[in-house]
A = this chain, B = another copy of it.
């Protein structure tokens, strides 16, 4: 991305092993993330930077210390590098690993990528997947893992009413996760008919089209005046964050997985809400083995969140399609 709105596909040098814990992967597929739109839209700086942090592919080379994946393995990795052995990783917060590094700095909208701490970051699938599984495995790398974490952070589960703010890919994946986690009722907040349909496909029991205070009022109306037990915030704006706070009942749980730079939370409002919150870059690595297993057994179908597929060379059009909301999420083939 040369600058906001200016995405180009160029030849670059092949990545090489630098540390003995590195692996080089040849990507099978990658994609554009909702968060890639922040620099694209000028909300965050963009200056001749590599892009992309979601990836599946085949291991082409490994460093001397890599033991958990081998050349030829098909792998899925998290969008945050982790050693998966430090105290923070062992507590399940691999995205805050002492060796954490954002894959976005490496850039996986590319043919190949160098993945540091390959043993702790990559998970091999049981075999080479058929093409029909590629979109779902790719989704696990971020949007599924992130939506899943959001639902876990919101403590979605049996007996719970879950409200999901945001009908982008992550919000839809949070709906899927809430369903898998056994939530009684899943309210998707969406005003787009095709996304409402996908939300229902993934398990939403109710749709709320209202936003802001009206959205909060509607959630309260649906929950006996109390608010939802579990709320997922998957938009990241000031309005959506405060909508999520307002929709959570006292003592309830809010999981949030993205906020943009201008969100400021009035302390007193959060205080009087009396809620649990958990947010941050999702520790996708924690969930990857289970998510790969669910996908491999065809129990979940997160790949449907991709509604446009383009070759990597057409990355610029992929960004445009998402920016203009012509696509929810674009898969890039190699």
Residues in A lying within 8 Å of B, measured CB to CB: 87-88, 91-93, 95-96, 98, 224-226, 238, 241, 249-251, 256, 258-261, 263-268, 270-281, 283
Please give the distance in Å from A167's CB to the nearest CB on chain B: 20
Contacts of A251 in B (CB 8 A): 88, 91-93, 96, 283
Known: A91-B251, A264-B264. A259 touches B280 (CB 8 A): no
Residue of B whose beta carbon sits closest to that of A91: B251
Name the residue in A226, A249, A260, A271 with the highest tally of chain B Cβ atoms < 10 Å from its Cβ.
A271
Can you list 14 A-B pairs, Cβ within 8 angstroms, ordered by A? A87-B226, A88-B249, A92-B251, A93-B250, A96-B274, A241-B267, A250-B280, A263-B266, A263-B268, A264-B264, A264-B267, A271-B280, A272-B281, A276-B278
Please give the distance in Å from A326's CB to the nearest CB on chain B: 28
Contacts of A92 in B (CB 8 A): 251
Name the residue in A241, A260, A267, A273 with the highest tally of chain B Cβ atoms < 10 Å from its Cβ.
A267
* New A-B pairs, 14, CB < 8 Å, besides A88-B250, A259-B268, A261-B268: A87-B226, A93-B251, A96-B250, A96-B274, A98-B225, A259-B267, A260-B268, A264-B264, A264-B265, A264-B267, A265-B265, A271-B281, A273-B280, A276-B277
CA distance A278 to B260 in the complex (A): 22
Contacts of A224 in B (CB 8 A): 87
Question: Which one of B267, B272, B276, B279 contacts A271 once the chains associate, using CB atoms below 8 Å?
Answer: B279
CA distance A45 to B226 in the complex (A): 29
Please give the distance in Å from A141's CB to the nearest CB on chain B: 19
Contacts of A91 in B (CB 8 A): 251
CA distance A281 to B225 in the complex (A): 20
- Residues B250 and A95 in contact, CB atoms below 8 Å apart: yes
Contacts of A261 in B (CB 8 A): 268
Question: Which one of B87, B274, B279 contacts A279 once the chains associate, using CB atoms below 8 Å?
Answer: B274
CA distance A250 to B96 in the complex (A): 6
Contacts of A275 in B (CB 8 A): 278, 280
Contacts of A278 in B (CB 8 A): 275-277
- Residues B281 and A274 in contact, CB atoms below 8 Å apart: yes
Contacts of A259 in B (CB 8 A): 267-268, 270-271
CA distance A98 to B225 in the complex (A): 9
Contacts of A273 in B (CB 8 A): 280
Question: Which one of B93, B98, B226, B270 contacts A265 once the chains associate, using CB atoms below 8 Å?
Answer: B270
Residue of B whose beta carbon sits closest to that of A88: B250
Please give the distance in Å from A172's CB to the nearest CB on chain B: 21
Residue of B whose beta carbon sits closest to that of A238: B267
Please give the distance in Å from A298's CB to the nearest CB on chain B: 32
CA distance A180 to B250 in the complex (A): 26
Residue of B whose beta carbon sits closest to that of A264: B264
Known: A96-B250, A265-B265. A258 touches B271 (CB 8 A): yes
Contacts of A88 in B (CB 8 A): 226, 249-251
CA distance A275 to B251 in the complex (A): 17
CA distance A250 to B100 in the complex (A): 11
Contacts of A96 in B (CB 8 A): 249-251, 274
